[in-house]
Structure 1
Amino acid sequence: MSAAPTTRQWKELYEAADQYRQAAIWRWMSNGHLFGVRDPASEEIGYCSVFGNGGEMFGLAVYMGTEGLRTIADMLAGKLDEDPMFSQHCLLLSLDDREELDPSEYKRIKQLGLGYRGKKSWPTFRLHEPGMMPWPELTAEQVVYMTQALDQARIVGEAYRDRPDALLDGEGERLLVREASPAGGGAYEWRSEWLEPAPLEETEAQAASSAPPLDELRIIKALKGAKGISGVWETDSFYVPMPIQEGSRPFFPKMALIVDQSSGQILKFGLSKGDEAAAAMNEHLLTLIEELKTVPRELWVGSESAGAALLPLAEALKLELMFSPELPALSEAREAMERRFS
Structure 2
Amino acid sequence: MSTAPTAQQWKELYEAAERYKKAAIWRWLSNSHLFGVRDPASGEIGYCCVFGNGGEMFGLAAYMGSEGLRMIVDMLAGELDEDPMYSQHCLLFSLDDRSELEPSEYKRIKQLGLSYRGKNSWPTFRLHEPGFMPWPELTAAQVDYLALALEQAVLVGQAFQRNPDELIEGDKDVYLVREIRPSSGNGLEWHDAWLAPEAPETDEGLSASAVPLDELRIVKALKGVKAGAGVWEADSFYVAMPIQEEERPYYPKMTLIVDQATGQILKFALSKGAEAATVAAESLLKLVEQHRVLPKEVWVGSEAAGDALLPLAEALKLELLWSPELPALSEARAAMEQRFG
TM-score band, normalised by shorter chain: over 0.9
Match of 1:245 in 2: 244
Asked whether 1:55 is paired with 2:49, we answer no
Tell me how far 1:306 sits from its aligned partner: 1.1
Tell me how far 1:209 sits from its aligned partner: 3.8
Map 1:38-187; keep pairs closer than 5 Å: 38-181=38-181
Counting aligned pairs with the same residue, the percent is 70
Tell me how far 1:144 sits from its aligned partner: 0.2
Asked whether 1:10 is paired with 2:10, we answer yes
**Deviating more after overlay: 105-114 vs 323-332:** 323-332
Question: What do residues 21-72 of structure 1 show as CA deviations (whole Å, max 9, x unaligned)?
Answer: 1111111111111000000000000000001111111100100000000110
Counterparts in 2 of 1:249 and 1:232: CA distance versus 1, 3 Å: same
CA contact (8 A) 1:210 1:279 kept: no
1:341 corresponds to which letter in structure 2? F
Match of 2:332 in 1: 333
Counterparts in 2 of 1:283 and 1:218: CA distance versus 1, 3 Å: same
* Separation in 1, partners of 2:302, 2:5: 39
Map 1:261-280; keep pairs closer than 5 Å: 261-280=260-279
* Separation in 1, partners of 2:115, 2:263: 55
CA contact (8 A) 1:231 1:297 kept: yes
**Deviating more after overlay: 168-177 vs 66-75:** 168-177
The TM-score normalised by the length of structure 2 is 0.97
Asked whether 1:217 is paired with 2:216, we answer yes
Map 1:182-331; keep pairs closer than 5 Å: 188-203=188-203, 205=204, 207-331=206-330
**Structure 2: runs of 5 or more not aligned:** none
**Structure 1: runs of 5 or more not aligned:** none
1:323 corresponds to which letter in structure 2? W
2:311 corresponds to which letter in structure 1? P
Tell me how far 1:201 sits from its aligned partner: 2.6
* Separation in 2, partners of 1:5, 1:183: 29
Tell me how far 1:188 sits from its aligned partner: 4.5
* Separation in 2, partners of 1:298, 1:42: 47
Tell me how far 1:300 sits from its aligned partner: 0.7
1:147 corresponds to which letter in structure 2? A
The alignment partner of 2:72 has SS state of helix
CA contact (8 A) 1:207 1:278 kept: no
2:146 corresponds to which letter in structure 1? M
2:212 corresponds to which letter in structure 1? P
* Aligned pairs, number: 340
1:332 corresponds to which letter in structure 2? E
The alignment partner of 1:37 has SS state of strand
CA contact (8 A) 1:235 1:330 kept: yes
CA contact (8 A) 2:208 2:311 kept: no
The TM-score normalised by the length of structure 1 is 0.97
Question: What do residues 95-152 of structure 1 show as CA deviations (whole Å, max 9, x unaligned)?
Answer: 0000100000000000111000110000000000000110000000000000000001
* Separation in 1, partners of 2:181, 2:14: 24
* Separation in 1, partners of 2:182, 2:328: 58
CA contact (8 A) 1:170 1:194 kept: no
CA contact (8 A) 2:211 2:308 kept: no
* Separation in 2, partners of 1:202, 1:300: 24
Counterparts in 2 of 1:336 and 1:129: CA distance versus 1, 3 Å: same
Counterparts in 2 of 1:187 and 1:337: CA distance versus 1, 3 Å: farther
* Separation in 1, partners of 2:202, 2:328: 29
Tell me how far 1:192 sits from its aligned partner: 0.7
1:97 corresponds to which letter in structure 2? D
Question: What do residues 182-227 of structure 1 show as CA deviations (whole Å, max 9, x unaligned)?
Answer: 679x985111100000012333x25414522101111111111111
